[in-house]
């Protein structure tokens, strides 16, 4: 190839595609219509506090192979910290707590996770044994999720109500961002197989210690060092095709760039706006929102790094002061800083930010006794209304594969046929796969 590969879209699919193409020796031009890279997983500065926050708190897992490889190649692995094994504490109103501790018995991988599930005190013995039976059947390939929702599968696998609400539902909401009665069960079984019951460190959580944008900061230099370019605040208006092959793209500023290949790493709604782009045989996608709330307090009241909360609208609470680096000035002015996550948050998207902040603060005070007497100093709500596509069993069977009718144009994005939910890993995997298809397989 003598001309560049143009990658349309600077989210994690486009980022992983760019890094992989550069690694394989190719010149890349990455085009992003927004003024920043990272898509829905990026950082910005809160105007009131001056702190860097993310467009929603993210955790990764050891099973995020493609995302972690991309970060490693960008040289920013030092901005991540891994758990030694999966460890999650649960809390609920009234001060009740529980924990899933995969390292409690010193056993590795899936065995440790299984023992961690058996150690859940607030799940009945019947529920824990049913969860173990489901896990074993999953490992033996005896579970058939095709065409079913998560709830249908769990009921078919005779999972009691307590283990569903205290274990499986929090996992589904956190990883699939969808209600149990709508999300495709095949996504759940893939997540459980790859991550929670995967290899030795697959289930361990990986915690960013800096803003998400810091993880990809070296990308422009990496691309430019190989003769390529990163163009932000720019879009592709047209893909020019001759005899079934793309020969160039026209940018929004009128420039024509000759190409040897194109990676379309944008969602279908953006793809249809590009003249000459390949058709995508996808149904009209529905989307599921994520509502993120950042709260700053006058006291550092939270001890844990993060907690899964049950029985409340708030699902996860992250202690930003324990997880993310902050300046001494920020810590002095705002000693307590937490991030809250509410997945599948359709019920909240029409509420005002003030109402959401007040309701979430009240829920936290019902769960965490150390908040007595603590004052809320500032709050910020981020509503990502189209955070992820909603993959129902029907949609899951129609997700697009990378190859298109144009021989050197391929598709990437968390919405493509990755067999994964719409996560950073799903996006990164799709970008790597698209480049491999474009370049005719791996070396």
Q: In this structure, what token pair is assigned to residue 379?
A: 């709050």
Fold entry, domain 287-389:
Polyamine Oxidase; Chain A, domain 2 (3.90.660)
Residue 78 is given by DSSP the state: G
- Average pLDDT per block of 10 residues along the chain, 443 residues long: 92 98 96 96 96 94 97 98 94 95 85 94 97 95 96 98 97 96 97 90 94 97 96 98 97 97 95 94 81 98 97 98 95 98 95 98 97 97 94 91 96 96 97 96 44
Q: What is the pLDDT of residue 441?
A: 56
Cα–Cα distance for residue pair 268/287, rounded to 1 Å: 12
Report H helices in 337-381: 353-367
The residue assigned the tokens 């033996």 is: 140
Domain borders along the chain are 5-41+212-283+395-438, 102-199, 287-389
The alpha carbon torsion through 256, 227, 403, 73 (nearest 10 deg) reads: -150
CB 380 within 8 A of CB 53: yes
Q: In this structure, what token pair is assigned to residue 188?
A: 């759940």
Q: What is the pLDDT of residue 77?
A: 97
- CB burial class (10 A; 0-12, 13-18, 19+) of residue 317? buried
Q: What is the pLDDT of residue 2?
A: 82
CB 52 within 8 A of CB 215: no
Closest to 430 (Cα-Cα) out of 4, 1, 20: 20
Handedness of CA 203, 70, 58, 168 (dihedral sign): negative
Q: In this structure, what token pair is assigned to residue 11?
A: 């989210």
CB 127 within 8 A of CB 159: yes
Cα–Cα distance for residue pair 187/92, rounded to 1 Å: 27
Q: What is the pLDDT of residue 195?
A: 93
Cα–Cα distance for residue pair 192/167, rounded to 1 Å: 12
Cα–Cα distance for residue pair 128/100, rounded to 1 Å: 12
CB 13 within 8 A of CB 430: yes
Residue 192 is given by DSSP the state: I
Decide the pairing of beta strands 261-264 and 5-8.
parallel
Report H helices in 94-232: 109-118, 125-139, 150-156, 161-163, 169-176, 185-191, 212-215, 219-225
- The superfamily in CATH containing domain 5-41+212-283+395-438 is FAD/NAD(P)-binding domain (3.50.50.60)
Determine the 3-state secondary structure of 337 from DSSP. strand
The pTM of this model reads: 0.94
Residue 10 is given by DSSP the state: -
Cα–Cα distance for residue pair 41/59, rounded to 1 Å: 11
Q: What is the pLDDT of residue 443?
A: 31
Residues in CB range of 133: below 8 A, 6 or more apart:
157, 158
Q: What is the pLDDT of residue 168?
A: 98
Q: What is the 3-state secondary structure (H, E, C) of 193-250?
A: HHHHCCCCCCCCEEEECCCHHHHCCCHHHHHHHCCCEEECCCCEEEEEEECCEEEEEE
């Amino acid at each position: 190839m003598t001309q560049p590969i143009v990658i349309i879209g600077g989210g994690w699919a486009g980022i992983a595609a760019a890094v992989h193409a550069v690694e394989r020796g190719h010149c890349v031009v990455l085009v992003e219509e927004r003024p920043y890279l990272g898509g829905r997983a990026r950082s910005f500065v809160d105007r009131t506090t001056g702190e860097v926050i993310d467009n929603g708190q993210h955790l990764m897992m050891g099973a995020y192979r493609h995302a972690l490889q991309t970060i490693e190649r960008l040289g920013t692995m030092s901005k991540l910290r891994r758990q030694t094994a999966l460890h999650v504490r649960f809390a609920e109103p009234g001060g009740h707590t529980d924990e899933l501790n995969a390292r409690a018995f010193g056993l590795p991988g899936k065995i440790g996770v299984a023992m961690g599930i058996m150690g859940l005190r607030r799940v009945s013995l019947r529920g824990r044994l049913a969860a173990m039976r489901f896990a074993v059947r999953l490992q033996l390939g005896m579970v058939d999720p095709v065409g079913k929702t998560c709830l249908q599968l769990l009921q078919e696998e005779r999972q009691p109500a307590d283990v569903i609400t205290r274990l499986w539902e929090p996992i589904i909401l956190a990883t699939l961002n969808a209600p149990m009665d709508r999300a495709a069960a095949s996504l759940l079984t893939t997540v459980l197989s790859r991550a929670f019951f995967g290899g030795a460190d697959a289930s361990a959580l990986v915690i960013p210690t800096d803003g998400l944008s810091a993880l990809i900061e070296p990308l422009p230099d990496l691309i430019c060092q190989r003769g390529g370019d990163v163009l932000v605040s720019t879009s592709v208006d047209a893909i020019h095709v001759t005899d079934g092959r793309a020969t160039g793209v026209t940018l929004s500023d009128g420039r024509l760039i000759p190409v040897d290949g194109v990676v379309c790493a944008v969602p279908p709604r953006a793809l249809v706006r590009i003249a000459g782009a390949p058709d995508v045989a996808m149904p009209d996608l529905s989307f599921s929102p994520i509502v993120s709330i950042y709260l700053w307090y006058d006291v550092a009241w939270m001890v844990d790094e993060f907690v899964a909360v049950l029985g409340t609208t708030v699902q996860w609470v992250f202690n930003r002061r324990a997880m993310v680096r902050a300046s001494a000035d920020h810590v002095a002015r705002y000693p307590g800083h937490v991030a809250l996550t509410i997945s599948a948050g359709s019920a909240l998207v029409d509420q005002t930010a003030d109402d959401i902040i007040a309701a979430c603060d009240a829920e936290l005070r019902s769960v965490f006794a150390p908040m007595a007497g603590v004052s809320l100093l500032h709050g910020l709500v981020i509503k990502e209304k189209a955070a992820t596509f909603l993959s129902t069993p029907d949609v899951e069977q129609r997700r697009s594969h990378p190859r298109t009718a144009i021989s050197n144009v391929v598709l990437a994005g968390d919405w493509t046929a990755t067999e994964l939910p719409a996560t950073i890993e799903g996006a990164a995997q799709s970008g790597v796969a698209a480049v491999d298809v474009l370049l005719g397989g791996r070396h």
